[in-house]
Amino acid sequence: MKVGVVLALVTSLAACMVGPDYRKPEVQVPEGFKEGVDWQRAEVNPQAAISSTWWRMYGDEQLNGLVEQALKANQSIAAAEAAYRVALATVETNQAGLFPVVTAGLAGARAGGNVQGLSASSGSSASAGNVVAATGTVSWELDLWGQIRREVEEAKANAEASDAQLAGERISIAASVATDYFQLRQADFDIRALKEQQDIYSRILVMTQTGFKEGAASGDDVLNAQQNLQTVIADLQATETIREQDEHAIAVLTGTPPESFSIVPDPDYPFLQPDVPHALPSQLLERRYDVVSAERTAAAANATIGVAEAAYFPTLTLSAEGGFAHNTFARLFTVPSRFWTLGPDLAATIFDGGERTAAVHKARATYDQDVANYRNTVLTAFQSVEDSLSSMNHLRAQERAFAQVLDSSSRLFASQQAQFNAGASSQQNVLTQRLTLIQAQQTLRDTQALLAESNVLLVKNLGGGWQRDDAEVASAPAAASSPASETAVRPAPVQSAD
């Protein structure tokens, strides 16, 4: 009866957990995006989502292969995946603290003293003899105040934050590959356009020099022609440098030495502008990996408060030890050779100079800091999306304007060509108008490339197809045997807003 009462008392105490229970910090969520006219709650398709393989929407198999290779071979992702496994192992380590520790040992020694069986054989209780002992020990520190459970809670939150960081690293690497790839394709066109301009400026320089000899052009005209040619040559060198560096960057992102990596130029590469599914601000909070990581970090800090407050209370350890000891192994496991001990150990800190109080103050301050960081991360997330939407809106307007400029330049060039064929215009006028046409083409293509890069950045800012599922992530530490790469990146189902 008394044992039952003690067990009931211990069980009821073990159910206690000191420290505040976590509640997700409140943040202000806007109804829509300022720069996204069509991105309002009432107009969003609840079934729309950004695919976890979003890079495929650009319709480029080479880009698909590069991104997928980077996700497998990139060392930054490998490091983040290892950090996630460390976090899962920490959860398992803390969970082990909830259970008793059982140890066993077998030892032999030469000893003196009054040991069971030793005096009988030696004739003297003080004489030396052999001692053989087999022991077993059970020790269990009861989690009366929830310190260990708070540590487990903290470790799980940190593991979930690490999971989000791994997903963020994967999204960042995929976006970097796509951005560098589009910049490289932009450079392909620019290099061809600059080479055409170099050829035209060279011809204009020759014509100007001939005109100078004939008295039809001034020395300033020659200097201007030389300046235009050298400027284009310098621009060409800078653009070729950019392409080479983009190629080197893609090689490193895909885990390949730059020396053995190359991408065949494609000056006619078509820049697609796929539509990104609309997303709700509230869903942005669920999708953004940095938002999830910051929120989980705040949850871990909240659990740390409970760990610190538990230090105010005593600890109770139940321990038991038993075994056998004798001077001969043959008679070791007999009733006269056995021994045992059983008893609780209650310990409490009486005075520590304010160390525990300081630890609680530190834990609470850390929580306040992490909550502020979380709220700031949310604000920054909305800012980044607004910036992306603003950039894309203006780039689309620029694209339309530059398309009209190209159309006008094409007509003017055709007119100059017709006048030249009719003998009403000089060849230099035709070449000059050809330069204007090439530059108009280059400006339009550069804008289209920037649009593609902005599209990638928008996908990244929206979370890139990764969305934290509370149920799955909460169970992730228990499924430590599953590959982290499979649990870290998931399709992002979009839910309707309340």
Instruction: Give the separation between CA 70 and CA 272, rounded to whole angstroms.
Output: 22
Contacts of 282 by beta carbon, 8 Å cutoff, 6+ apart: 29, 497
Domain count, the chain: 1
Tens digits of residue pLDDT in 299-311: 999 999 999 999 8
Instruction: Give the separation between CA 488 and CA 242, rounded to whole angstroms.
Output: 33
Instruction: Give the separation between CA 328 and CA 326, rounded to whole angstroms.
Output: 6
Instruction: Give the separation between CA 35 and CA 390, rounded to whole angstroms.
Output: 6
**Helices within 15-45 (DSSP H only):** none
Beta bridge partners of 233: none
**pLDDT for the residue numbered 39:** 53
Residue 449 inside a domain? The answer is yes
The answer to whether the beta carbons of residues 310 and 150 sit under 8 Å apart is: yes
Residue 94 inside a domain? The answer is yes
**pLDDT for the residue numbered 493:** 33
Q: Which of 231-240, 241-250, 418-427 has the weakest average pLDDT?
A: 418-427
Domain span at 475: 16-98+143-313+348-488
Q: How far is CA 112 from CA 109, 121, 129, in A?
A: 10, 13, 6
**pLDDT for the residue numbered 121:** 46
Mean per-residue pLDDT over the chain, rounded: 84
Beta bridge partners of 340: 322
Question: What CATH number has the domain bearing residue 72?
Answer: 1.20.1600.10
Residue 318 inside a domain? The answer is no
| Residue 382, both tokens | 């909305």
Q: What is the DSSP letter of 40?
A: B
**Torsion region of 324: left, alpha or beta (phi above 0 gives left; psi -120 to 50 gives alpha):** beta
Instruction: Give the separation between CA 252 and CA 229, rounded to whole angstroms.
Output: 35
Q: What is the DSSP letter of 32?
A: B
Q: Decide: helix, strand or coil at residue 495.
A: coil
Best CA proximity match to 24, nearest among 459, 371, 472: 371
Contacts of 121 by beta carbon, 8 Å cutoff, 6+ apart: 129, 327
> Which helix (H) or strand (E) is 346 found in, with range?
strand 338-347
What are the φ and ψ backbone dihedral angles of 52, each rounded to 5 degrees?
Answer: -70, -15
Tens digits of residue pLDDT in 57-113: 999 999 999 999 999 999 999 999 999 999 999 999 999 988 898 999 888 777 555
Mean pLDDT of 162-171: 93
Residue 431 inside a domain? The answer is yes
Residue 110 inside a domain? The answer is no
Report the C-alpha dihedral over residues 149, 150, 156, 160, rounded to 10 degrees: 160
Residue 53 inside a domain? The answer is yes
Burial (Cβ within 10 Å: 0-12, 13-18, ≥19) of residue 370: buried
Residue 416 inside a domain? The answer is yes
**pLDDT for the residue numbered 37:** 54
What are the φ and ψ backbone dihedral angles of 482, each rounded to 5 degrees?
Answer: -75, 145
Q: Decide: helix, strand or coil at residue 137.
A: strand
Record the pTM. Answer: 0.81
Q: What is the DSSP letter of 480?
A: T
**pLDDT for the residue numbered 201:** 96
